[in-house]
Structure 1
Amino acid sequence: MLDWEKIFATRSARMRASEIRELLKLLEQPDIISFAGGIPDPALFPAEDFKAAYADIMSGPQVGAALQYSVSEGFLPLREWLRGEMAKIGIECGTENIFIVSGSQQGLDYLGKLFLSPGDTALVNWPTYLGALQAFNAYEPNYDQLTPNGNRTPASYLETAAAKGGRPKFAYLSVDFANPTGETVDFEGRKKVLELAEELDIAVIEDAAYQSLRFDGTPVPPILSLEIAQKGGIDETRTIYCGSFSKTLAPGLRVGWVVANSAVIRKLVLMKQAADLHSSTINQMAIAHVAARGFDAQVAKIKAAYSARRDAMLAALSRYMPEGTSWTKPEGGMFIWITLPEGADGADLLAKAIVQEKIAFVPGKAFYADGSGANHIRLSFSCANEATIEEGIKRLGRLVSSEMKAAA
């Protein structure tokens, strides 16, 4: 038989199954309380609005266009709507600066392909979004640690990159209520990322997938808006903003967007032409229909639900988690990041949690480019009601307490 491993490209060796995608299979087991998947609650999807949107499209004059090939840049009315939304958060741009992708995950893949040659360096947070690591890994980069608080100097990045044989190409970070930590990069941190990018002459990839899900606290301007204000226009900037409808309207339609300098957008369009020609036209039309008629109301609805669940999880953690553990207190999003005592292993804890307590979460190691972070776990509160959160955290606290006593 053919030995496939001998003819696969070398990059295939860096492709790994997503621990999160595998854990989502646990949702099919009715006796498991899952805090694993960072996915929206389907009960909150605007299903009736989408039914009406698709009915209107299929019965109206646009049906032919909806089922036909389309332009690679994306459905123009959707890009026009996004232009208005971007302006609200300080990102003044034209439709030529907006590019529709099949979920922001595709945008990350394209950006990895655009910037990374084998051995180049990507600067990422420790920890960072697992999906970004998966997207970038295929292009065989090295990773170095990005710390928006400025603890490391640009010289250290250059020295490390030179030793590994590749120059830095971009800094990637999730800026609001990040996956996995739930943390937000503050105003000064965003300015420092821009300063670092200027010194290193690299791009900034701003992952804003959760930007709309702020429950409390003061909104922080996007990095791209800060740079536009500094430089006078989007075509003078180096920041690339990635947005998504997956967390607000519907993840299954796979519609996201990238906003950037028009030179970057032109390259991304060429990639899409070679990859899949264009994102689903009818899905873009449906998203445009629903967003134009009720985006703000939909966001308000999900924020109210998720905020209550976050509060319930934080309260339960305070009641049931033992001393020696700590956790983040996010102002929005879907995640809380737990730090266990040194020496603990989230993967080992998960194996016991599933069998002994019938609960699931994501071990923290998956989110570190260097494979560290074993003593962390990620909890998602988006798909569990308050009563389920109370019971699940009670079980988690019981298990962690037991493990800590056994290790003492």
Structure 2
Amino acid sequence: MSVDQFFASRMGRMKASEIRELLKLLDQPDVISFAGGIPDPALFPAAAFRDAMARALADGQAGVSLQYSTSEGYPPLRRWIAAHMRELGVECGEDNILITSGSQQALDYLGKLFLSPGDTALVGWPTYLGALGAFNAYEPNYDRLDPNSNRTAADFAAQAEAEGGRVKFAYLSPDFANPTGVTLTKAERENVLQMARDLDCTVIEDAAYQSLRYDGDSVPPILALEMQQQGDIDACRTIYCGSFSKTLSPGLRIGWVCAAKSVIDKMVLLKQAGDLHTPTLNQIAVAEVVADGFDDHVDTLRNAYRVKRDRMLAALERHMPDGVDWTRPEGGMFVWMTLPKGLDAAELLAEALRSVRVAFVPGAAFYADGSGRNTLRLNFSSPGPEQIEEGITRLGQVLRKHLPET
């Protein structure tokens, strides 16, 4: 007998993350990895966290930091986040904030909150594969979200109804998106909002990279734009998912949701049923570190990652053959590469690993329909500048075998 026969139908939609598998390559010192969306560990504020945790564990404090806590999250951290959101143009209070175990948990809870089997989620083509992984468990259909599309709300609604459900939300990362690095303009964000109003669905704004802008003018979050229209966060349909993973530490697993209180209240119930609360000690440490100099730390990140981004873009210009194109992000951690049709990035990865010891993520994993096999994602935040130069040089050598210069 095999227990496999008892698995729920949703398990048929669950797949191993290609990125999680590729991260194992980081333990191989001869591999230059552009694979994971990994912050540079040399930039972690380790000393600040060491001091903050020491204070949290000092006599008289451990009874709080090592104890069960409220599901909503550590109040001082929620207050700091509410103030941070107000700086972004979102007038809100502590009751509009829920602390999650990374923004990945928020995506899982939002899938559970909104999706019934057969409902439709609008996502980018490509989109963050972790979002697809989170939503897949709830057995949705996917349709293509394009802020500049000529498709009408009626078109989306009819397609969703034909597939046995309705459109429940539009999911997008408007700033330096994972995987493309592309940022939506204000007009494109307003188009998404208008479409959501026409469809009467929610908007999930994944803002994991929002703080990491290196040049260009900042664009208000979608939630801030909706606040300008509605005047009250509790009247807004946009749900903002933030994270400290890309700015402070991914290992502490601290993210947050900012939304109407009715949404937060429901997500608290999911949090209580899921893991009770995010680790108290981690929340206290993050609260102290952000209070002592978050903006200065982010400036340090921006300066360091700008150098790496520029190094990668310059290396691509020098070493890529004709026929290869890539994005030029204003921030974030990723460059998205498009190869000529007919090339398969998964096959290219196997060859690159074997012959020149370079890793990246093939693009098909970021498409809900598995297309985009001639695309790939490059990360520039983790490797050093010299590794970036050498790795792109090697990757160019592999590509030139398939695409000789004309």
Q: Distance in 2 between matches of 1:95 and 1:77?
A: 9
Q: Distance in 2 between matches of 1:4 and 1:301?
A: 51
2:148 maps to a residue whose letter is N
1:378 is aligned to 2:377: yes
2:162 maps to a residue whose letter is A
The alignment partner of 2:376 has SS state of: strand
Instruction: Tell me the alpha carbon deviations over residues 131-189 of structure 1, each in whole angstroms, 9 at most, x when there is no partner.
Output: 00000000000000000123322122112112211110000000100000000011000
Q: Distance in 2 between matches of 1:167 and 1:60?
A: 54
Q: Please show how residues 298-313 of structure 1 align to structure 2 within 5 Å.
A: 298-313=297-312
- TM superposition shift of 1:5: 1.6
2:108 matched residue in structure 1 = 109
Instruction: Tell me the alpha carbon deviations over residues 316-365 of structure 1, each in whole angstroms, 9 at most, x when there is no partner.
Output: 00000011110000000000000000111110000000001110000000
1:37 is aligned to 2:33: no
- TM superposition shift of 1:405: 4.2
The alignment partner of 2:289 has SS state of: helix
Number of residues of Structure 1 aligned to a counterpart in Structure 2:
406
Q: Please show how residues 17-56 of structure 1 align to structure 2 within 5 Å.
A: 17-56=16-55
Q: Distance in 1 between matches of 2:155 and 2:369?
A: 17
Q: Distance in 1 between matches of 2:225 and 2:274?
A: 32
- TM superposition shift of 1:257: 0.1
1:151 maps to a residue whose letter is N
The alignment partner of 1:220 has SS state of: coil
Q: Distance in 1 between matches of 2:241 and 2:148?
A: 22
1:177 matched residue in structure 2 = 176
Provide the identity percentage. 63
1:198 matched residue in structure 2 = 197
Instruction: Tell me the alpha carbon deviations over residues 264-312 of structure 1, each in whole angstroms, 9 at most, x when there is no partner.
Output: 0000000011111100001000000001001111101111111000000
Q: Distance in 2 between matches of 1:60 and 1:311?
A: 47
- TM superposition shift of 1:4: 1.8
Q: Distance in 2 between matches of 1:202 and 1:126?
A: 19
Deviates more, 1:175-184 or 1:148-157: 148-157
The alignment partner of 1:59 has SS state of: coil
Q: Distance in 1 between matches of 2:3 and 2:29?
A: 38
Work out whether residues 96 and 260 of structure 2, in 8 Å CA contact, stay in contact via their aligned partners in 1: yes
Work out whether residues 322 and 403 of structure 2, in 8 Å CA contact, stay in contact via their aligned partners in 1: no
Q: Distance in 1 between matches of 2:400 and 2:384?
A: 24
Q: Which runs of no fewer than 5 residues in structure 2 stay unpaired?
A: none
2:249 matched residue in structure 1 = 250
Work out whether residues 212 and 299 of structure 1, in 8 Å CA contact, stay in contact via their aligned partners in 2: yes
Q: Distance in 2 between matches of 1:375 and 1:328?
A: 14
Q: Please show how residues 152-301 of structure 1 align to structure 2 within 5 Å.
A: 152-301=151-300
Q: Distance in 2 between matches of 1:61 and 1:83?
A: 28
2:384 maps to a residue whose letter is N
1:317 maps to a residue whose letter is L
Q: Distance in 1 between matches of 2:397 and 2:221?
A: 40
Q: Distance in 2 between matches of 1:332 and 1:60?
A: 42
Instruction: Tell me the alpha carbon deviations over residues 208-263 of structure 1, each in whole angstroms, 9 at most, x when there is no partner.
Output: 00000000000000000011110111000000000000000011000000000000
Residues 77/400 of structure 1: CA separation in 2 closer, same or farther (3 Å cut) = same
Work out whether residues 208 and 241 of structure 1, in 8 Å CA contact, stay in contact via their aligned partners in 2: yes
Work out whether residues 128 and 367 of structure 1, in 8 Å CA contact, stay in contact via their aligned partners in 2: yes
Q: Distance in 1 between matches of 2:120 and 2:85?
A: 30
Q: Distance in 2 between matches of 1:283 and 1:357?
A: 40
Q: Distance in 1 between matches of 2:403 and 2:142?
A: 33
Residues 27/96 of structure 1: CA separation in 2 closer, same or farther (3 Å cut) = same
Work out whether residues 150 and 189 of structure 1, in 8 Å CA contact, stay in contact via their aligned partners in 2: no
Q: Distance in 1 between matches of 2:163 and 2:98?
A: 33
Q: Distance in 1 between matches of 2:151 and 2:372?
A: 19
Q: Distance in 2 between matches of 1:151 and 1:342?
A: 25
Q: Distance in 2 between matches of 1:61 and 1:378?
A: 48
Work out whether residues 179 and 377 of structure 2, in 8 Å CA contact, stay in contact via their aligned partners in 1: yes
Q: Distance in 1 between matches of 2:245 and 2:261?
A: 24
- TM superposition shift of 1:404: 2.3
1:370 maps to a residue whose letter is D
Q: Distance in 1 between matches of 2:167 and 2:324?
A: 35
Q: Distance in 2 between matches of 1:157 and 1:209?
A: 27
1:289 maps to a residue whose letter is E
TM-score, normalised to structure 2's length?
0.99
1:89 is aligned to 2:88: yes
2:346 matched residue in structure 1 = 347
Q: Which runs of no fewer than 5 residues in structure 1 stay unpaired?
A: none
Q: CA RMSD in A?
A: 1.1
The alignment partner of 2:49 has SS state of: helix
1:16 is aligned to 2:53: no
> Which of structure 1's runs of 4+ aligned residues deviate more than 6 A?
none
Q: Distance in 1 between matches of 2:275 and 2:137?
A: 18
- TM superposition shift of 1:61: 3.1
1:323 matched residue in structure 2 = 322
1:100 is aligned to 2:103: no
1:215 maps to a residue whose letter is Y
- TM superposition shift of 1:384: 1.2
The alignment partner of 1:170 has SS state of: strand
The alignment partner of 1:247 has SS state of: coil
1:58 matched residue in structure 2 = 57
Work out whether residues 321 and 404 of structure 2, in 8 Å CA contact, stay in contact via their aligned partners in 1: no
- TM superposition shift of 1:60: 4.6
Instruction: Tell me the alpha carbon deviations over residues 81-125 of structure 1, each in whole angstroms, 9 at most, x when there is no partner.
Output: 111110111011010000000000000000000000001000000
